[in-house]
Every structure is written in C-alpha cells, then in structure tokens.
Amino acid sequence: MRKRKHLLVGVVMLLAVAALALATSVSAKQASVFKVAWIYPGPHNDGGWSQAHDAGRLYVQKMLGSKVQTTYKENVFSNASVPQIVAGLVRDGYQMIFATSFGMLELGVNGQLWKKYPKVLFEQATGQQIEKNQSEYFGAAEDTIYLSGMAAGAATKKGVVGYVAAFGIPEVVRHTNAFTLGVQATHPGAKVKLLWTNSWFSPPKETSAAQNLVAAGADVLGQNVDSPAAGVYAEKHGIPWAGYDSNAQKFAPKQWLTASVYNWGQYYLSRVKAAMAGTWKPGFYYGSIKDGFTALAPYGPSVSAKTKALIAAKEKAIEAGTFNEFCGPVYDQAGKLRIPKGKCLDPRTPSGINALYSMQWLVKGVIGSVSHVPPPG
C-alpha cells in the first residue's frame, strides 16, 4: 500500500513537472512572437485603401508565419480616437503599429504618441513627422495616377471627366493635378470637374458625387476616395471609370479602365523584418514604379491598344527618370505659372518633396476649388 502511495505521488510530481515545462515552453514561445498592428480609416474590406493595406498585413502574416501575430483596428473615421486605440494595443503587447492615414500620428496629442510609448515602433502613411521611434512612408502615386488619367482622357468623348475626391489636403490635391495632366496628355483641352465628399470612405456621398458629375456633363469618372461606389454607379450607367487604391475591376467589369495601386506588402514585410532583427531605423520612404511600390492595375476591356502603348511609353519614361508630370511649364486655374520651364518637383529632393507635400493649388483645366474641410480629429 505504501509503495502504491509513493508511486502515485511520483506520477503526480512527474505530471506537474511536465505541465510546468509545457507552460514555460508556451509562455516562451508567446514571448518570442513579434506583435504588429495596423490602424485603418475605413473597413478592412472597403474595396480600396484600407483593403489594400490589409492585403499588405496578410502578406506579412503569410511570409513570417508563427513568428508574428498581427491585428487591425478598422473604421477609425476620426483621428481623435487614435490615442485610445494605441493605448489599448500597447496594453496588449503590440510592439509595432502602422497607422495608415494622414494625421493619425501627427498634430496635437497624436503627434506625441511616439514619446509616450518609447518602446513601440510607429509608422505612419502619408505624413511627414519623423521621430526616433517613428517613420513615415508613402509613394509617388502621382505618377501612376497620371497614367490612369491618360486612360480616362482617351475614353472621354465630350472632353469632360468627373473626379470624386476626399479631402483638400496636399496629397489629394497633387493627385487631382496629376490625374488632370494625364487626362490632358491624351485629350488636349479636356476639363476635369472636381467634387469633394469630405470623407475618406462614404459610399453614399461617393455615389451622389458621381451622379452629380455625370449630370454636369462628365462622360468618364475618376476618383481619390476609398470605396468603389463611384464605379458601381459607372457600371450601371455605362460610364468609363478609373479607380484608385485597389484593383476594383470586379465592381465595374465593363466600364473599368485601370487604377493607380500600391504594393504595401513589400514595404511592410521589410520593416517588420528589420524591427524583429533589431535593425529598424526611422526614416522617410517614398516608393515608386521603379522599386515596384506603385503600379497600374490591369486594364479594362475598353482600353485600346493605342492607349495602352501611349501609357506604356510614358511609364517607361517615368521609370527611367526622363519624364515627370510636374515639370514646367505648369499653370494653375488662374493662369499663374506655378512650375517654370526647366524646373521639376522631384520627390528625390527636399525641395521637391516639400512642394508636393504642401500643394494647395489646382492646375489649369480643373473645374472646382480646393476643399478646406480637414479630416476629422
């Protein structure tokens, strides 16, 4: 009987040791997993901007597997809610946070989050605030938006293209200008009518804007907003459409032209790897066609071989550095010379990037004015 009792005690102790070893192993494994979070201004499946970023997150998860744990916070319509979201992520042990919209990590309280959480690595899309633990990243979408504008210009018969835009911040203003210059490259003298939704993601406002632009004479639509709602309207009413952010051809299979898109995944993977290896450094990244960060989505069925050839030649020139849509002479709506002949706004130079990131004037041919409604928060 005593032998049985000793045997039972021994078995229990062995089980306890095994359980402790297993728990320690699981705990150590959990501690070794690198935790990364993304913050999106809209739904993760919006068919545009946020979905493109989420595809980048999924790419990181796929490539790094069990070495990382990723999550996202979506529908962050107001930047005022970002500090609370960041606080929750930090409490949950997230070591790196990508904020994917203008103003999420700069201005006011948001611009001090890097200081409040010095052990967290922050990265913000489309901004300019760089700190010891905060980087900025974006890309020369003006190049590929110009190319999508060329497709729109070739498609218009009336010489009037409608453009649905979000907020009048420099990012969207320079994109509007690039699109217009592209339209005029294939349809000289064409006009671009501009309507603002004053929202990054609002399918009802985007649909209404598309409807109003068509009623005002536009026979082609383009956009710089986050959902494919304008494309859904275009498909229903037989209006050619150039999208933005994502390949949204499925929403307008007959009327789709193309879109400027981003390869966020390659950037996210490189930055997460650097963070895990302890080699991450703050900086400013501005991707391009040449490094594969910006690109054009596949063409729709109505884009002619001639138009494709024109766009391909211009894309090759952009990649080679022999063409820049913001090389002078470029005039604004009032006829004022904004970029003199022989001068270019080169994003590879401090003066060029500063000019692009502060642009608040519209090129000749745009019908409309810059909205002064800021993003919420």
CATH number for position 233: 3.40.50.2300
Residues 6+ apart with CB under 8 A from 264: 52, 53, 55, 56, 59
Q: Is the same domain home to 335 and 348?
A: yes
pLDDT grade for 27, boundaries at 50, 70 and 90 = very low
In a domain, 21, yes or no: no
- Closest C-alpha to 51, from 261, 213, 199: 261
pLDDT grade for 1, boundaries at 50, 70 and 90 = very low
Q: Is the same domain home to 247 and 271?
A: no
* Other residues' Cβ atoms within 10 Å of the Cβ of residue 362: 22
Residue 80 tokens read as 């005022």
CA distance 70 to 318: 35
For 173, the domain range is 142-261+296-367
- Going by DSSP bridges, is the β-strand pair 284-287/134-139 parallel, antiparallel, or unpaired? parallel
Phi, psi for residue 246 in degrees, rounded to 5: -140, 160
Q: Is the same domain home to 187 and 50?
A: no
Q: How far is CA 362 from CA 72, 139, 324, in A?
A: 35, 20, 17
In a domain, 16, yes or no: no
Q: Is the same domain home to 319 and 203?
A: yes
pLDDT in tens, 352-366: 999 999 999 999 999
In this prediction, what percent of the chain has a pLDDT beyond 90? Answer: 91
| Predicted pLDDT at 7 | 40
In a domain, 4, yes or no: no
Q: How far is CA 167 from CA 194, 205, 306, 360, in A?
A: 11, 13, 34, 11
CA distance 206 to 217: 17
pLDDT grade for 5, boundaries at 50, 70 and 90 = very low
| Predicted pLDDT at 24 | 39
pLDDT in tens, 256-296: 999 999 999 999 999 999 999 999 999 999 999 999 999 99
Cα four-point dihedral sign 268, 269, 272, 278? negative
Phi, psi for residue 288 in degrees, rounded to 5: -150, 180
- pTM, two decimal places: 0.91
Averaged pLDDT, 242-254: 97
Strand partners, 223: 164
How far is Cα of residue 22 from the mean position of the Cα atoms in its chain? 43
| Predicted pLDDT at 31 | 58
In a domain, 22, yes or no: no
| Predicted pLDDT at 222 | 98
pLDDT grade for 117, boundaries at 50, 70 and 90 = very high
CA-based end-to-end distance of the chain: 74
CA distance 110 to 73: 16
Q: Is residue 21 pLDDT above 70, yes or no?
A: no
Q: Is the same domain home to 238 and 342?
A: yes
* Other residues' Cβ atoms within 10 Å of the Cβ of residue 236: 12
Check: CB of residue 87 under 8 Å from CB of residue 107: no
CA distance 29 to 23: 10
Total structural domains in the chain? 2
Q: Is the same domain home to 70 and 154?
A: no
Q: What is the mean pLDDT of the chain?
A: 93
How far is Cα of residue 305 from the mean position of the Cα atoms in its chain? 29
Phi, psi for residue 353 in degrees, rounded to 5: -70, -35
Q: Is the same domain home to 102 and 170?
A: no
Q: Is residue 235 pLDDT above 90, yes or no?
A: yes
Q: Is residue 28 pLDDT above 50, yes or no?
A: no
Check: CB of residue 367 under 8 Å from CB of residue 192: yes
Report helix, strand or coil for 24. helix
pLDDT in tens, 171-225: 999 999 999 999 999 999 999 999 999 999 999 999 999 999 999 999 999 999 9
Check: CB of residue 293 under 8 Å from CB of residue 266: yes
pLDDT in tens, 55-114: 999 999 999 999 999 999 999 999 999 999 999 999 999 999 999 999 999 999 999 999
Q: Is the same domain home to 90 and 186?
A: no
Q: Is residue 25 pLDDT above 90, yes or no?
A: no
Q: Is the same domain home to 214 and 341?
A: yes
Q: Is the same domain home to 236 and 345?
A: yes
Q: Is the same domain home to 248 and 349?
A: yes
Averaged pLDDT, 3-22: 42
Q: Is the same domain home to 78 and 225?
A: no
In a domain, 278, yes or no: yes
pLDDT grade for 247, boundaries at 50, 70 and 90 = very high
- Lowest mean pLDDT of 14-28, 63-77, 239-253, 326-340, name the range: 14-28
